[in-house]
Structure 1
Amino acid sequence: MPMPQEEDWQTIAQDFSVQWNFPNCLGAIDGKHVVIQAPPKSGSLFYNYKGTYSIVLLGVVDANYCFRVINVGAYGRGSDGGTLRDSAFGRALEAGTLKIPPDACLPGAEHLGPLPYAFVADEAFPLRRHLLRPYPGKNLQRCKRIFNYRLSRARLVVENAFGILASRFRMYHRVMGQHPHNVEACVKATCVLHNLLRRNKTTHPSAPVMDGPNCSMQGITRQGTNNSSREAVHVRETYTSFFSSVHGEVPWQHLVS
């Protein structure tokens, strides 16, 4: 699973624009808890908010449900935002060494100026220049509700990828009694095999797929940091304007907003 280069990121962004109507998107990020038996003398390191013991699979998924970057082995007690921050991928994202393509204008919206390519995530993650999260709260303006829907629609590919992974490899449906290092190896192996099966066009009858006007923001309850830069806030506001414009809207977004 080599780290994507600039050309790879551009291909991923093109796929997200065509398939999920979200331009300049480099991937969807989320974390999955892999349940394990509590290792001896580990205290609460692996104890998560769900009341189980786990290690975390942090995944960056492309528009075709393939894992492009993974980080496996973080303690279950940590937050998704903290796991991203402490991972090699998160440090590279913060340092600007991921070879992300230069800023580009959104299609048909050159008047808005160039915008950075960005990853999409839920409220457990911080808002950054290259990382978009939804607006918090319920009583939002209509344009913000539309943005949240559009971001959720693109972000659901990572949840779908986790669902497909778990439906194919039944180890995710039970408590794993191996040493955490062995569990890490198993998780990495299943992610690589998952990609091979996806790229060979292998389908699975129980694979969940969520798309279209029935997508919603259900399940987003975790809260991340609100310490966002002005530039990151401006990027999100520009996307908000774009998705409510003639050039950026999709016909069914008005049914769910």
Structure 2
Amino acid sequence: MAIADSDYKFIAIDVGSPERFSDGSIFNPSVVAKKMMEDTLHIPSPAVLSPIEDPMPFVFVGGEAFPLFENLMRPYPKRSVTDNDEKKVFNYRLSRARQTVECSFSILASRFRIFRAPFEIKVNSVISVVKAACVLHNYLRNSVAEMSEEMNEEEMPKDQLRPLLQSNFTRSSQKALTIRQNFTTYFNTT
């Protein structure tokens, strides 16, 4: 499980959980979940998204197995989306945002072909290999970005260069539901 940024770099990873566990079961005891609970992730302050007047929090996006929290959005359940176009749009936009982390894993697997076949080493070694590959992946992403900035720096003006949660993991808070509804409204009006 991982958190990735818009440049396909890994911000946080959780390696070594048994495959039979769901994403939600892996997330709940994770360091990231604990830091969300303690509000120590240093997430940026909420910002206004017009036309919504209330400031909206920065959020992580997850799949259906994740809990819904103020800083963690998950899709609407399938049963509530069937006849609701606004919820379908929200789920589609959330799915598009989740593709960033999926693309990060695809880039990692393409770059390091060791991930294309089953590992034939001890489990502890697999964990170390995955962590090392993620660090190297981020390093290479930074190197590529720096090289492309150096190449484009002369062509572009300088000003155009690339410049959490409720303590209950079983029920979504009313505030989290309101935030998801506000994002639904935003996605359907922009």
Q: TM-score, normalised by structure 2?
A: 0.81
Partners of 1:105 and 1:65 lie apart in 2 by 26
Q: Which structure: greater helix fraction?
A: 2
Q: Which structure: greater strand fraction?
A: 1
Partners of 1:145 and 1:163 lie apart in 2 by 26
> 1:128 is matched with which residue: 54, 64, 69?
69
Partners of 1:166 and 1:78 lie apart in 2 by 22
What whole-Å deviation, never above 9, does each CA across 1:49-93 have from its counterpart, x for those lacking one? Answer: xxxxxxxxx110001111011111122221111111111111111
Partners of 1:173 and 1:109 lie apart in 2 by 45
Map residues 1-257 of structure 1 onto 2, 5 A cutoff. 58-106=1-49, 108-111=50-53, 113-137=54-78, 138-201=81-144, 227-245=171-189, 249=190
- Match for residue 7 of structure 1? none
Deviation of 1:191 after TM superposition, in Å, equals 0.4
Deviation of 1:110 after TM superposition, in Å, equals 4.8
Identity across the alignment (%): 41
Q: TM-score, normalised by structure 1?
A: 0.61
Paired amino acid for 2:117: R
Partners of 1:237 and 1:76 lie apart in 2 by 32
Deviation of 1:104 after TM superposition, in Å, equals 1.8
- Match for residue 23 of structure 1? none
May I ask how many residue pairs the two structures share in their alignment? 165
Q: Does structure 2 retain, via aligned residues, the 8 Å contact 1:100–1:117?
A: yes
Deviation of 1:136 after TM superposition, in Å, equals 1.6
SS of alignment partner, residue 12 of structure 2 = strand
What whole-Å deviation, never above 9, does each CA across 1:95-150 have from its counterpart, x for those lacking one? Answer: 211111222211x2352x11221101111211111100111215141111111111
Partners of 1:79 and 1:67 lie apart in 2 by 20
Name the Cα RMSD after superposition: 1.7
- Relative contact order, higher structure (CA 8 A, sep 6+): 2
Flag as ranges the 4+ runs of structure 1 deviating above 6 A: none
